[in-house]
Structure 1
Amino acid sequence: MRSDHDPHAVNFLIDEAGPDPRAGHVRADMPGIVWNGGMAAIALIAGPFLLSPSAAALFVVTTGAALLLGHSVGYHRMMIHGSFRAPRWLTRTLVWFGAFVGMAGPYGIIRAHDTRDWAQRQADCHPFLRHGTTILRDAWWQIYCRLDLDRPPRFDFAEIDRDPFYRWLEATWRWQQIPVALIFFAIGGWGWVVWGVAARVAVATHGHWLVGHLAHNRGPQHWTVDAHGVQAFDVPWAAIPTMGEAWHNNHHAYPGSARIGLHPGQSDWGYAVIRLFERLGLASDVRTPATMGRRDGLSRVGRAARWRSPALPRAARR
Structure 2
Amino acid sequence: MKENDQIRYGKIVLAPLKILTLYLFILGSLTIDFAELSSEVLGLNGVLVLLTVCLGHSVGLHRGIIHKSYQTSRWFRNLLAYAFVFTGLGGPLNWLKFHYYRDYWQNQSECLPYFGYKHSLLKDYWWNLHLSFRPTNVDRYNIPKDDLEDTWLRFLNGTWLAHILGMALLFYLLYGWNAMLFLVAFRAAVTILAHWFIGYASHTHGYVRYEVSGASESGYNDVLLGVCSFGEGFHNNHHAYPKSAKFSKSWFELDLGWCAIVILKYIGLIWEVQTHRDAEARAKALKVYPITTTDILQ
Give yes or no for the alignment of 1:272 onto 2:259. Answer: yes
Q: How does 1:179-218 map to 2 (within 5 A)?
A: 179-218=166-205
Q: 1:147 is paired with a residue of what secondary structure?
A: strand
2:71 corresponds in structure 1 to 85
Question: Over residues 35-73 of structure 1, what are the superposed CA-to-partner deviations in whole Å (9 max), with x where a residue is unaligned?
Answer: 112111211234557645444333333123211111101
Partner of 2:293: 300
Structure 2 residue runs without a partner (length 5+): 1-5
Residue matched to 1:117: 103
Q: TM-score, normalised by structure 1?
A: 0.83
Residue 316 of structure 1 corresponds to none
Q: How does 1:153-302 map to 2 (within 5 A)?
A: 153=140, 156-160=143-147, 163-292=150-279, 293=281, 294=283, 296-302=289-295
List alignment gaps of at least 5 residues for structure 1. 1-19, 306-318
Letter in 1 for 2:187: R
Higher share of residues assigned strand = 1
Q: Aligned partners of 2:211, 2:120: CA distance in 1, in Å?
A: 23
CA offsets 1:168-220 (integer angstroms, 9 cap, x no match): 11111111112211221122111221111111111111111100101111111
Cα 1:286–1:133 shift into 2, 3 Å:
same
TM-score (norm 2): 0.88
Find the residue that maps to 2:242 and give its secondary structure. coil
Distance 1:209 1:166 in 2: 22
SS at match of 1:240: helix
Q: Is the 8 A contact 2:70 2:273 kept in 1?
A: yes
SS in 2 for 1:26: strand
Offset at residue 110 of structure 1 (A) = 0.8
Matches within 5 A, 1:86-101: 86-101=72-87
Tell me how far apart the structure 1 counterparts of residues 8 and 242 of structure 2 sit (CA, whole Å): 23
Say if 1:67 and 1:233 are closer, same or farther in 2 by CA, change over 3 A.
same
What letter is aligned with 2:207?
P
The answer on whether the counterparts of 2:32 and 2:182 sit within 8 Å (CA) in structure 1 is no
Contact 1:58/1:192 (<8 A) preserved: no
CA gap 1:41/1:161 in 2 versus in 1, 3 angstroms:
same
Q: In structure 2, how many angstroms separate the alpha carbons of the residues matched to 1:21 and 1:76?
A: 28
Letter in 2 for 1:218: H
- 8 Å Cα contact 1:64/1:241 also seen in 2: no
Aligned residues: 287
Which structure dedicates a bigger proportion of its chain to helix? 2
CA distance in 1, matches of 2:7, 2:241: 22
Structure 1 partner of 2:50: 64
**Residue number among 113, 120, 143 corresponding to 2:129 in the alignment:** 143
User: Identity of aligned pairs, percent?
Assistant: 27
